[in-house]
Amino acid sequence: MTINWIHKFDNIQTKQVHNLMSNEWWCNKRTLAEVEKVMEGSNVLFGAVDANGKIVGFCRVLTDYVFKALIFDVIIEAPYRSTGLGREIITNVLNNPKLSEVKSFELYCPDKISGFYKNLGFCEYESKLLGYKR
């Protein structure tokens, strides 16, 4: 399986990310304009591109480059799941030179996915998350 990794997305690739998001429960209501804004507003983007030039994996990171990095929207396209691509995208985040000083990588995830991240060294933090919704 030939996969290339990219950090910059053209218009077609951004639409492909929007399409990936449209199949996932937490982000399937996002418009293309929102996805464009979210990508512009993220610090580091990760895309897996298959041999046909299609985006088949994505995640994005918000960070202060020193203390914290929040990982969002980790998605591998369904036919490519269970092939190691999910592990590769998270490993790429943890090893990215721009994020080399970051002390804590954090993410939201439902219990049923937590095993995937725990396999990669993530653990549950004791501190409780507070939120303010509007």
In the bound complex, what is the minimum distance in angstroms from residue 24's beta carbon to ligand COA?
Answer: 5
In the bound complex, what is the minimum distance in angstroms from residue 97's beta carbon to ligand COA?
Answer: 22
| Residues from 60 through 119 that contact ligand COA (CB under 6 A) | 74-76, 81-87, 109, 112-113, 115-116, 119
Instruction: Note the residue count of the chain.
Output: 134
Residue 42 burial (CB < 10 Å; 0-12/13-18/19+)? middle
**Residues 23-62: x where in contact with ligand COA by CB under 6 A, - otherwise, as a string:** -x--------------------------------------
Task: Give, as one character, the DSSP assignment of residue 129.
Answer: P
In the bound complex, what is the minimum distance in angstroms from residue 119's beta carbon to ligand COA?
Answer: 5
State the Cα–Cα distance between residues 18 and 120, nearest whole angstrom: 26
Give the closest residue to 124 by CA, choosing from 12, 132, 115, 133. 115
